[in-house]
Amino acid sequence: MKIALIGPPKSGKTTIFNALTGADHEVDKYSPAASEANIGIVQVTDERITWLSELYQPKKTIYANIEFHDFPGIFARESDNPETAIYPDIKSCEAFVLIIRVFKDEELDELYGEADPLKTLSHFEDEMILADMLVVEKRLEKILLGYKRGVKTPTIQIEEKALNRILEQLQANNSIRDMDFPPEEEKAIRGFQFFSAKPLLILLNSSESGFKKQEEALSAIRKRGFLAQVIAGKFEQELSSLSEEDTELFLADMGMELSIKDRLSMLCYELLGLISFFTVGSDEVRAWSIPKGTNAVNAAGKIHSDLARGFIRAECFTYDALTLHGSEKHLREKGLFRLEGKEYIVQDGDILNIRFSV
């Protein structure tokens, strides 16, 4: 899972990236924007995997992970768009975390305007819509040119129909993520990776002292339909150099139990509507993340395309039942070991063994 950290210049993206990944990239007020992203992989904490690993004693234990990409600032008000070269990289991420500065800093205020989260969010929505609009208009022109030359396949017509609907949406200043597409249209436009179609999480980067004063901004942003949280970026980065016990004490002081890594992982799962299923055995205990509502055959395909192609049945039991009864043998005796078909909707905490033949 690839998640992009984006935001205006100097909103604290790299600070938060460092806190998340334990990296030590330079943060400062004046250096020009980096030209490419910092990339770091974060393991998703899951006590269930830890427990399963103890039970099965596998050779390998694999937690789910999230790849965070920390991009240089974009959509600066006065920029002449030197950032365009990184747009494709940003758009290749599955979801965006928009980091907005709410901490006070006179020099940054001077350079970039006073912190105003709602205004920044609107600005970003506008810029994303505009960037998408340029892509759609350009593509539609090309399609029409093709029509004149006699290139008019059903596939292109589906694409044209979808793009015209999208253009209407964007012209009304609305994001693509609020639209629904029939499967064939969804397929036709998938490759564009539109900015305004991506799931968007808002993080308000606050000072330690301002942390509890963001309720008003948060609720206004949530009212607009976004998932949003406050984070004290610099404070969290400072914590990452402390011992685990000290970190816990400081976090508890701020009313938090979990590390920034765990909090943000959970938010990303929520943003993308993901759940986890597990595979277990003496070779490997592993977590897999899939969108809620995924059926067994598609879950199998996540493990390997052969498993989807040759899918016969999924042997299935739940993590909770296993913790309750202690072993697979006991689950079989209790009739808690199920056989499920292709269309079974996989649930969070299911343990699957796919039977297949190719």
Ligand X SMILES: Nc1nc2c(ncn2[C@@H]2O[C@H](COP(=O)(O)OP(=O)(O)OP(=O)(O)O)[C@@H](O)[C@H]2O)c(=O)[nH]1
Q: How far is the CB of 115 from Mg ion (least distance, A)?
A: 17
Task: Find residue 276's DSSP bridge partners.
Answer: 289
Closest separation in Å from C-beta 166 to Mg ion: 31
Task: Give buried/exposed letters for 287-308 (b at 16+ CB in 10 A, else e).
Answer: bbbbeeebbbbebbbebeeebb
CB nearer Mg ion, residue 99 or residue 322: 99
Alpha-carbon torsion (33, 36, 37, 38), positive or negative: negative
Q: Which does 207 bind (CB under 5 to 8 A by kind): ligand X, Mg ion, none?
A: ligand X
Closer to Mg ion by Cβ: residue 264 or 275? 264
Distance from C-alpha of 15 to C-alpha of 325, rounded to nearest angstrom: 45
Which CB sits closer to Mg ion, 7 or 58? 7
Distances in Å between the Cα of 103 and the Cα atoms of 221, 294, 321 are 17, 40, 47
- Please identify, among the stretches 14-22, 117-125, 153-161, 304-312, the one whose residues bind Mg ion according to the rule CB under 5 A: 14-22
Nearest-approach distance from CB 127 to ligand X, in angstroms: 15
3-state secondary structure at position 186: helix
Closer CB to ligand X, 16 or 352, in the complex: 16
Contacts 24+ apart (CB under 8 A), 177-184: 184/158
Question: Which of the choices ligand X, Mg ion, none does residue 12 contact, using the CB cut-off of 5 to 8 A by kind?
Answer: ligand X
**N- to C-terminal Cα distance for the chain?**
28
* Shortest distance, position 123 Cβ to ligand X, whole Å: 15
Q: Cα separation of 271 and 172, whole Å?
A: 25
Comparing CB distances to Mg ion, the nearer of 14 and 294 is: 14
Beta strands in 122-273 (DSSP E): 200-205, 227-231
Q: Name the minimum Å distance from CB 69 to Mg ion.
A: 11
Site for Mg ion (CB under 5 A): which residue of 14, 21, 175, 259? 14
Provide the binding-site residues for ligand X, judged by CB under 6 A. Answer: 7, 9-15, 27-29, 33, 72-73, 103, 105, 205, 207, 232-234
Binding site for Mg ion (CB under 5 A): 13-14
